[in-house]
Amino acid sequence: MSKVYIALQDNDESRYIAEAIEEDNDGCSVIHQPAMIRIEREGKLVINRESVEEKMGRDWDVQELHINLVTIGGNVDESDDYFALEWNQ
């Protein structure tokens, strides 16, 4: 299985998103690089709206992710409640 990944600009909002990802995705690795946070995991990675809202303490629209996104690898699946990256092989 290949790794999917997401990189976010290293800022106050991304910190909460990264925390939510870390809690919801067992075994993912979080790598801090200059000015960005890269998170990768074998096969699949999910960002749940509810978990991010819990961390941020406010409503969060999944599409707000666009503001802090740097790059992604994997097929995207997005709904009102989650954003997922996955390889199909």
Partner 1 sequence: MAAKKLSLKDKYRLLTRDLSWEPTYRDKKEIFPLEDFEGIKITDWDKWEDPFRLTMDAYWKYQAEKEKKLYAIFDAFAQNNGHLNISDARYLNAIKVFLTGISPLEYSAAQGFMQTGRQFSGQGARIACQMQAIDELRHAQTQIHAMSHFNKYFDGFNEFMHQHQRVWYLSVPKSFFDDARTAGPFEFMVAISFSFEYVLTNLLFVPFMSGAAYNGDMATVTFGFSAQSDEARHMTLGIEVIKFLLEQHEDNVPIVQQWIDKWFWRGVRLLGIVGWMMDYLLPKKVMSWKEAWEVYYEEAGGALFKDLARYGIRPPKHVEVAELEKEHISHQVAFTLYQYTHAAALHVTAPTEEEMDWLSEKYPNTFDKYYRPRWEYLREQEAKGERFYNGGLPLLCQTCQIPMVFTDMNNPTQINYRDTHYNGERFHFCSDGCKDVFEHEPEKYVHAWLPAHQIFMGNCGGADLPSVVENYYNIRMGIDNMDYHGSPDEARWKEWKGLRSVEDKLKEAV
Applying CB under 8 A, the residues found at the interface with partner 1 are 2-5, 7, 9, 33-36, 62-64, 66-80, 87-89
| CB of residue 26 to partner 1, shortest distance in Å | 20
Smallest distance from the beta carbon of 19 to partner 1, in angstroms?
A: 20
Between the alpha carbon of residue 5 and those of residues 11, 58, 72, the distances in Å are: 18, 26, 5
Least separation in angstroms between CB 62 and partner 1: 8
Q: And the tokens for 56?
A: 């941020």
- DSSP-based three-state secondary structure for 83: strand
